[in-house]
Amino acid sequence: MHTKSIKELHKLLTDKKISAVELAQHFIDRALKHNPSLNCYINILSDEAKQQAKIADDKIFKKEGSLLTGIPFALKDIFCTSDMLTTCGSKMLSDFIPPYDATAYKNLKSSDMVLLGKTNMDEFAMGSSNENSFFGCVQNPWDLDCVPGGSSGGSAVAVAGGLSPVAIGTDTGGSIRQPASFCGITGIKPTYGRVSRYGMIAFASSLDQGGVMAKSAEDCAYVLQSLSGYDKKDSTSMPEDVPSYTESLNNSIKGKKIGLPTEYFANLDDDLKQIITTQIKEFEKLGAIIVDISLPHTDLSVPAYYVISSAECSSNLARYDGVRYGYSAKNPKNLEDLYLKTRTEGFGDEVKRRILIGTYTLSAGYYDAYYIKAQKIRHLIADDFNQAFAQVDILLTPTTPTTAFKKGDKQNPLEMYLSDIYTVAVNLSGLPAISIPAGFHQKMPVGMQLISPAFCEHRLLNFAHMYQAQTDHHLQTPSQVPQEKIL
């Protein structure tokens, strides 16, 4: 059941082979059983899921449902859900219950999807390994000693481990694509402005974007369709109509040009390069034309990213002061002491590190040298992409420089930051990108990234779907999580 696609689940539901309540219960049971070892959920919402599933069943009975009616999903705990705990992976918000829904969640609810639980994540989405969660690390189902990637590690593992058919993540510098790659699933980060950020707890406002993690590009397409759209509560969301993501899934890609940015392959591990090169041939079989292309400012993307994202986070996270909600230090001597203790005790090390970096780069005397310069680099990087897309339809790159690494392996933050090297430029440029499974290296999944021009998610999904139609990497399931048959 948990390996079935959304389309298959939808058919089972509408054929009355299974009810939405039974389907939800199946995933809740799996979650309750495997979460103690995987730790991908911070909160499993058994009762809420059953309630929502009942509503879905009612709609299915009245034939009022959509393709997503009754399909269960997991939601990264960065999205506010009214009357339900929303922690953002932090001690600071470990008891926070928002009185409002994130627009992204509201959209899925209005498609009658069923929320199974809130997934684990790096604290405030800062991290590439999920080791920064206040609620503990998430285990990679392909090797429990390995990290699942981050920051949407919980969402990736919920899907990879069969604890949810689909999950919602967010991606500020690779937080959907990198864990998707590490866990052998498909993850799409849409164009900045495609999915509302309202109620999605901010890390770096100009980079954050919600997206979908699922077993296939096709499943991603169905859910992204519902997730996307203009929201008047988010001034940076795009007023343009959302095109159909499913209609073009099977379009031929014959004659389409795929660019390989040489900078993304130059220092890549030989084995991974070999794997990806082999997979590129699959696109050639589909008639695509492969060309080399250059994105000359690639090496500046990681430093520019860490300056901008840290600057924004230092300001975005200033509101957690212990005054109105969230963690508040006990017995402060005075106001300053309240601020100091609350933030010292409530935030983890990585969050503090980024707040310090960001505060520094915005300070008088450093602003021009760091923040302004990073913004200029951002323009250069975006220009690189613009020029590339004048020549090709899509770009293909590795998603990550390595497969999932061992927990505790990257103690040096700089080393950790460099694991984002292939993903951050996309966020700096606001572009959409998808990571799809491309095979295995030493039994660990390898991911491949496709990047398209802004608002061309349908193109990404089309290319990915055509590739997945003739390969089976995305159908592999980890042996660590028993694939017991229930129904």
Partner 1 sequence: MKYDVVIGLEIHAQLNTESKIFSLSPTRFGADVNTQANEVDLAMPGVLPVLNEQAVIKAIKFGIATDCKINNRSIFERKNYFYPDLPKAYQISQFEYPIVGAGILEITNEKNELKNIGITRAHLEEDAGKSLHENFTKHSGIDLNRAGTPLLEIVSDPDLSSAKEAVIYAKKIHALVVYIEICDGNMQEGSFRCDANVSLKPRGTKELGIRSEIKNINSFKFLEKAINYEINRQENILDDGGRVVQETRLYDADKNETRSMRSKEESNDYRYFPDPDLLPVIIDNKLIQNIKDKMPESPYNRLKRFIDDLDLKEEDANLLCSDIKIADYFENIIKIGNLKPKLVANWIIVELMGIINKNNKKWQDNKINEQDFATLLQRITDNTISGKIAKQVFAVMWDKGDKPDNIIKKEGLQQLDNDDEIKSIITDIINKNPAQVQQYKDGKHKIIGFFVGQIMQQTKGKANPAKVQEILKQQLS
| Active site members | 76, 151, 175
386: left (phi over 0), alpha (psi -120 to 50) or beta: alpha
Q: Which is nearer to partner 1, 204 or 395 (CB)?
A: 204
Closest residue by Cα to residue 459 from 228, 229, 256, 207: 256
- Rounded to whole angstroms, the Cα distance separating 64 from 68 reads 11
Residue 147 CA to residue 116 CA, distance in Å, equals 23
Q: How far is the C-alpha of 176 from the C-alpha of 11, rounded, in Å?
A: 28
* Residues 6 or more apart in contact with residue 92 via CB below 8 angstroms: 320, 326, 327, 342, 346, 347
> If you compute the radius of gyration of the chain from its CA atoms, what whole number of angstroms results?
21
CB 107 within 8 A of CB 126: no
- Round to whole Å and give the CA distance between 27 and 34: 10
> Quick one: CA dihedral 415, 394, 477, 124, positive or negative?
positive
Nearer to partner 1, 198 or 245 (CB): 198
Q: Name which of 57 and 208 has its Cβ closer to partner 1.
A: 208
CA–centroid distance for 281 within its chain: 27
**Where does residue 205 rank: exposed (0-12), middle (13-18), buried (19+ CB within 10 A)?**
middle
For partner 1, the closer of residues 318 and 487 by Cβ is: 318
Q: Which residue spans within 301-432 are E strands per DSSP? A: 394-398
State residue 6 phi and psi, 5-degree precision: -60, -40
The overall longest dimension of the chain from CA atoms, in Å, is 70
Q: Which residues bind partner 1 (CB under 8 A)?
A: 78-80, 86, 88, 93, 96, 98-100, 102, 197-202, 204-206, 232-236, 311-312, 314-315, 318-319, 321, 323-326, 335, 339, 359, 362-364, 367, 371
Question: In this structure, what token pair is assigned to residue 409?
Answer: 């392996």
Q: At which residue do the structure tokens 């539901």 appear?
A: 13
Place of tokens 């939800």: 24
Least distance (Å) from partner 1 to the CB of residue 206?
4
Contact at 8 Å (CB) between 41 and 74? yes
The least CB distance from residue 104 to partner 1, in Å, is 10
Pairwise CA distance, residues 83 & 99, whole Å: 6
In terms of CB distance, is 21 or 84 closer to partner 1?
A: 84
Identity of the residue, 74 or 201, whose beta carbon is nearer to partner 1 in the bound complex: 201
Q: Based on CB atoms, which residue is closest to partner 1, 17 or 319?
A: 319
Distance in angstroms (rounded) separating the CA atoms of residues 36 and 164: 15
CB 392 within 8 A of CB 329: no
> 209 or 216: whose CB is closer to partner 1?
209
204 phi and psi, to 5 degrees?
-130, 105
Helix, strand, coil percentages, rounded to 5, for the chain: 40, 15, 45
Shortest distance (Å) from residue 99 CB to partner 1: 6
Closest Cα to residue 20, out of 64, 65, 72? 72
Q: Which is nearer to partner 1, 29 or 234 (CB)?
A: 234
